[in-house]
Chains A and B, each alone.
Chain A
């Protein structure tokens, strides 16, 4: 079945630690996205990528980094510079066709230990 796989489902970060969230898709989508969702709030864009080896900052990129070495994969690293990382992180993908919808993975819930 085609879809977007995020792992792990739950993740705990210690003070000063970097953690990496995985996102893999087999939908053959060119574009991939990372969002952060805080309780009772909408989605805020962290980073997005439309092509391998290229990505752009979204609205809240500070304290995060990404890479896009393969079309299928778009990992997100939450660095120690992100002082309030506790949130629900969602990865999405879409085609590059104009105006197409985004499809989401199941999300990773990150908490601070």
Chain B
């Protein structure tokens, strides 16, 4: 079983819609959770960190964490074509583990 799994995608949404990206993890002692955005040919860029159950909002981005279900998600509201990228989920029990990523395309 993979340690960090993301919905495989690719995910395509129209401009202005909500994009929902999901991630599950296997290590129950995980304490910190991150979402990175990676444009094609570029390095990952940290966009959200979340450490406790519930929602955390930053602009158009909302991260949601449910430790009991071992589930973390990222919602992107009012999606823009510039949001088109691969989104990596990362989980840190004691060392960082990355999911394979979900490719998002926002169509104008």
Contact = CB atoms under 8 A, between A and B. Distances in A.
A98 B31 CA distance: 9
Q: Point out which of A40, A41, A99, A102 has the most chain B C-beta atoms below 10 A from its C-beta.
A: A99
A76 B19 CA distance: 37
A102 B98 CA distance: 11
Contacts of A99: 31-32, 51, 92
Interface stretch (A12-20, A62-70, A77-85, A104-112): A104-112
Interface of B: 4, 31-32, 34, 42-46, 49, 51, 88, 90, 92, 95-96, 98-101
11 contacts: A41-B100, A42-B4, A42-B99, A43-B88, A48-B95, A90-B44, A98-B32, A99-B51, A104-B43, A106-B43, A107-B43
